[in-house]
Amino acid sequence: MPKQVALVIGPTGATGGPIAKALGRRGDWLVYGMSRTAPAGKVPFTHLAADLTDPASCARALAAIEPVTHAFFAARAPFQEGGVENVEGNVAMLAATLDALEARSGGLEHVHLLEGTKWYGMHLGPYPTPSREGDPRHPPPNFYYDQQDLLSQRAAHARWSWSASRPSYICDFAPDRARNLITILGTYAALCRELGVPLDFPGTAAAYSVLCELSDATCLAEAIIFMSTHDAGRNTAFNVTNGDSFRWCQVWPLLAQWYGIPCGVPRHIKLATWMADKGPVWDKIVARRGLQRRSLESLASWDFADFVFEKEWDLLTDNGLLRRAGFNLCVDTIAMIRDQLNQYCEAKLLPR
Ligand X SMILES: NC(=O)c1ccc[n+]([C@@H]2O[C@H](COP(=O)([O-])OP(=O)(O)OC[C@H]3O[C@@H](n4cnc5c(N)ncnc54)[C@H](OP(=O)(O)O)[C@@H]3O)[C@@H](O)[C@H]2O)c1
Nearer to ligand X, 73 or 160 (CB): 73
Are 294 and 349 in contact by the 8 Å Cβ rule? The answer is: yes
Q: Radius of gyration (Cα) for the chain, nearest Å?
A: 21
Is 127 annotated in the active site? no
State the nearest-atom distance from the C-beta of 36 to ligand X, in Å. Answer: 3
Beta strands in 84-160 (DSSP E): 110-114
Angle at 6 (CA atoms; ends 2, 7), nearest 5 degrees: 145
Is 270 annotated in the active site? no
Chain contacts with ligand X (rule: CB under 6 A):
10-16, 35-37, 50-53, 74-76, 114, 116, 167, 169-170
Nearer to ligand X, 52 or 155 (CB): 52
Handedness of CA 19, 21, 24, 25 (dihedral sign): negative
Nearer to ligand X, 89 or 264 (CB): 89
Nearer to ligand X, 167 or 203 (CB): 167
Question: What CA dihedral angle connects 267, 116, 233 and 96, to 10 degrees?
Answer: -160
DSSP annotation of 38 reads: P
State the nearest-atom distance from the C-beta of 194 to ligand X, in Å. Answer: 27
> Which residue of the chain is nearest ligand X when measured via CB?
13
State the nearest-atom distance from the C-beta of 14 to ligand X, in Å. Answer: 4
Helix 181-195 / helix 248-258 crossing angle, nearest 10 deg = 50
State the nearest-atom distance from the C-beta of 135 to ligand X, in Å. Answer: 17
Nearer to ligand X, 162 or 169 (CB): 169
Are 66 and 89 in contact by the 8 Å Cβ rule? The answer is: no
- 256 half-sphere exposure, CB direction, 13 A CA radius: 17
Residues 6+ apart with CB under 8 A from 135: 120, 128
The one catalytic residue among 144, 169, 188, 259: 144
Nearer to ligand X, 170 or 336 (CB): 170
CA distance 18 to 139: 32
State the nearest-atom distance from the C-beta of 205 to ligand X, in Å. Answer: 26
Residues 6+ apart with CB under 8 A from 293: 286
Helix 181-195 / helix 333-346 crossing angle, nearest 10 deg = 70
Kindly list the catalytic residues: 118, 144
